[in-house]
Structure 1
Amino acid sequence: MTFYFPFHLVSVSPWPVLMSFSVMSMMINLLMMLNESNFIMVLLNFLLMLLLMFQWWRDVIREGAYQGSHLICITAGLQCGMVMFILSEVMFFFSFFWGFFHLILSPSVEMGNQCPPMMGEAFNPYNIPLLNTVILLSSGVTITLCHHAFLSNKFKVSLLMIIMTLSLGVIFTSFQFFEYKESGFTISDSMYGSIFFLSTGFHGLHVLIGSIFIYINTVRMKNKEISSFHHFGFEACLWYWHFVDVVWLFLYIFVYWLIY
């Protein structure tokens, strides 16, 4: 008598333990960079993490797309894991907003009892921040149109929409780089400077990671590795990108517009 068992045995993989060591090394190198202003090791560590992500994701894609191991129960587990990951990211940014509201509602004496304190000129929310808001919200629209077109088996339209989304993500990152370059204050200028650059900087990092996520799904879509009924990797990318959009809306309203 045979029993149906929906799970598969994952092959032995070195990527989880190597990625954990890489993340630990990245944190150490970031601390060294802040003290010694040496970006070389951080750059090399980042390239190593990209290589490990490529190898790990390659194995997962092979299991789902070619070996047929990702059945309904497996996909449900992956969906649950992605939801838990996004919730952990929500709490991550919640800590920044908690510190920000504590700062503006109860500014300390060291800040002159006002927020923002007397320092360099604050960013005008109607310049680059507003443009970036329009760009990121537009990317949310294009990736949603891509999803609907993909479900309708309109692969050319979906490929065009996801390329537009990737382009908008790159443009957003470029404008944020120019914004940082022209900033009138730094991360060491009071608590406001620290919270501003930490919150917007980590959001920019999430946009960069999301852009890599979208690029991988663009390649998979072009190679016909996903279909309209088996494409959880693309759905996870969609959830992540919408999460990035929502976080940016809160950042724009509170960190840019409310303070100005």
Structure 2
Amino acid sequence: MSSTAHAATPYYFVPGPSRHPAMAALGLFFVILGAGQWINGEDWGKYALAGGMLFWWGVLYQWFRDAINESEGGLYSHRIDLSYRWSMSWFIFSEVMFFGAFFTALWWARGHSVPALGSLDNALLWPDFKAVWPSIAAGVTASPANIIEPFQTMTPFWLPTINTGLLLSSGVTLTIAHHALVKGERGKTIAFMWATVLLGTVFLFVQGYEYAHAYSEMNLKLTSGVYGSTFFLLTGFHGFHVFVGMLMLLFITLRLMKGHFTPSKHFGFEGAAWYWHFVDVVWLGLYVIVYWT
């Protein structure tokens, strides 16, 4: 069990010199180098990318293991808890700004760029262009010059609606797990945490099926004009965040099974929960703005 009352708990724990930041940076260097070279046709780039990722994951495993051992060893005081809370708050704020940029790009395209292309100033260049959203065929909104293949647009039925239900349900199961942890009901906490992880995993599979359907049957791709690019950037980055959040919840669940966290000290759980609820809120915005309007 966690050592919440530790006689040697410092007022503010300062870890000793660590190799982890430098080693993580080295791994990311090979990740970026390999990805850049692979994109530019160098076959060795994919091996550098894979090696860099494996190295980076190994460093993260050791880094997180050390942090967990420090926490379970009773080295983290109330001041460290506050530090983690502020850090997670600012991290989520940065994610709000990240998605805000993409939502703004979608708003700008729909409210300004497309109407500008259909204005009187451009009537001589594209006399047959119709400034409507969303575009459903080449030459309408996606491509005044008729260089984009015709495609179909996404609707909320039924896969996006199913995914909305999955994410909302996962928020409920996570909240139940949190309340159970506060009450000291560890078995119930673990059960509902596994349910949350399962719902997040199913969400990812449903989104993967949606992408396959979009590419094969709707001809909707990342290159399908501004509609396709904004759709896949918003939903794709959100899906990546769901994947990261699902991994966070998975590791928290495994820690719960090892006896970590107590009813009074469990910010690792809370931080992951904050992130997951943020992911839920972003999806609701996507569901309304991308699929319904």
Report how far residue 57 of structure 1 moved.
1.1
Instruction: Give the aligned residue type for 2:94.
Output: S
Distance 1:174 1:33, change over 3 A: farther
Alignment map for 1:130-149 (pairs within 5 Å): 130-149=161-180
**Residue 115 (structure 1) aligns with:** 133
Aligned length: 254
Q: Does 2:16 correspond to 1:11?
A: yes
Amino acid at match of 2:198: S
User: Which structure 1 residue ranges, 5 or more long, are not aligned?
Assistant: none
Structure 1 residue 112 displacement after superposition: 4.9
- In structure 2, the partner of 1:99 is 105
CA displacement 1:182-221 (0-9 Å, x = unmatched): 1131111111211111111111111111111011101110
Find the partner of 1:50 among 47, 53, 57: 57
> How much does 1:248 deviate?
0.4
Distance 1:175 1:27, change over 3 A: farther
Aligned to 2:205: 174
Deviation at 1:105, TM superposition (A): 1.1
Structure 1 residues 51 and 112 mapped into 2: Cα distance closer, same or farther (>3 Å)? farther
Q: 1:12 to 1:224 in 2, by over 3 A?
A: same
For residues 128-147 of structure 1, give each alpha carbon's deviation from its aligned partner in whole angstroms, at most 9, with x where no partner exists.
Answer: 10000000110010001000
Work out whether 1:194 is the aligned partner of 2:201: no
Letter in structure 1 aligned against 2:275? Y
Which residue does 1:81 correspond to in 2?
Answer: 87
The CA distance in 2 between the partners of 1:201 and 1:236, in whole Å, is: 23
* Aligned 8 A contact 1:79 1:236 in 2: yes
The answer to whether the 8 Å contact 2:10/2:77 transfers is: no
Hey, what's the Cα distance between the residues in 2 that align with 1:191 and 1:179? 19
Alpha-carbon deviation of 1:7? 1.2
Between structures 1 and 2, the one with greater helix share: 1
| Structure 2 CA distance for partners of 1:18 and 1:27, relative to 1, 3 Å | same
Indicate conservation of the 8 Å contact 2:35/2:46, yes or no: no
- How far apart are residue 36 of structure 1 and its match? 4.8
SS of 1:208's partner is helix
Q: Deviations over 1:135-185 (max 9, x none)?
A: 011001000100000000011110000000000010001111111111131
Say yes or no: does 1:214 pair with 2:249.
yes
Unmatched tracts of structure 2, length 5 or more = 1-8, 118-125, 138-149
Of residues 243-252 and 33-42 in structure 1, the stretch that sits farther from structure 2 once superposed is 33-42
Conserved? CA contact 2:31–2:50, under 8 Å: no
CA distance in 2, matches of 1:194, 1:220: 39
Matched letter for residue 62 of structure 2: Q
- Supply the distance in 1 between the matched residues of 2:231 and 2:203 (Cα, whole angstroms): 17
Q: How far apart are the structure 2 equivalents of 1:31 and 1:95?
A: 24
- 8 A Cα contact 2:220 2:228, kept in partner: yes
Q: CA RMSD in A?
A: 2.3
Report the Cα distance in structure 1 between the residues aligned to 2:274 and 2:36, rounded to whole angstroms: 31
Q: Distance in 1 between matches of 2:203 and 2:50?
A: 21
Partner SS state of residue 245, structure 2: helix
Which structure's relative contact order is higher, taking Cα pairs within 8 Å and 6+ residues apart?
1
The verdict on how the C-alpha distance between 1:236 and 1:199 changes in structure 2, with shifts beyond 3 A counting, is: same
- Residues 62, 112 of structure 1: CA spacing in aligned structure 2 closer, same or farther, 3 A cutoff? farther
| Identity between Structure 1 and Structure 2 (%) | 33
Matched residue, 2:67: 60
Cα distance in 1 for residues equivalent to 2:151 and 2:61: 41
**TM-score, normalisation: structure 1:** 0.89
